Amino acid sequence: MRIIPAIDIIDGKCVRLTKGDYSTKKIYNENPLEVAKAFEDSGIRSLHLVDLDGAKNQHIVNYKVLEDICNKTKLHVDFGGGLKSDGDVSIAFESGAKQITGGSIAVKEPEVFKRWLSKYGSEKIILGADCRGRKIAISGWLETSDVDVVEFISKFQQLGVKSVICTDISKDGMLNGSANDLYKEILKATDVNLIASGGVSSIEDLIQLKAIGCEGAIIGKAIYEGKITLKELRQLC
């Protein structure tokens, strides 16, 4: 299972939110590149980079941070947040992203998302399936749709999606464990490469996600709050 640290960006700084609430913003480092290099030095090879300004403003904003990290590290970066147009996606890939994650666009404009799948291929396009009470959340988690998360993932798997990042928003930033029952249900209903996100607080959580069958696990606040150390990640990697 891949270990994938997350860097969330607001105003060019590395931050974390709790349950996606922008009012809970906590700045952990004003230099995201410094954080990315520390991950790389610990043996990490993948990074989940989220443009929270972009998610809120409905277009890519912090692409310079993406460009900086991609130019100065060898991390495999998947980038999400505010990707709403062909131009946004082009900027993300031109800035060095190896993959992009689209969530809101798949709900609001599925034809656009399908066009990206066709143009770039399923290896480069990840489906973002973030949910609140099983319903897909969109627009930086500021809105909740009436779409069931398992049905949503199943639908897009049939359209060619191979990789999915799923976050149970109620778990995000809470450091009280992942949505393991939901992930089991998704893996039983689909054949996607599932990347778990939200709630990871310990090495034991990672072991459980691997046992469930997740292809990857995204870790955020647990690292920044010292619940999981870079030394422990180095040993895992």
Catalytic residues: 8, 130
Asked if 186 and 213 touch (Cβ cutoff 8 Å), the reply is no
Residue 28's Cβ-count burial label (10 Å; 0-12, 13-18, 19+) is middle
> What is the rounded end-to-end Cα distance, in angstroms, of the chain?
10
Asked if 200 and 166 touch (Cβ cutoff 8 Å), the reply is no
- Max Cα-Cα span within the chain: 44
Q: Which helix (H) or strand (E) holds 34?
A: helix 32-41
Asked if 189 and 150 touch (Cβ cutoff 8 Å), the reply is yes
Classify the C-alpha dihedral 21-98-4-31 as positive or negative: negative
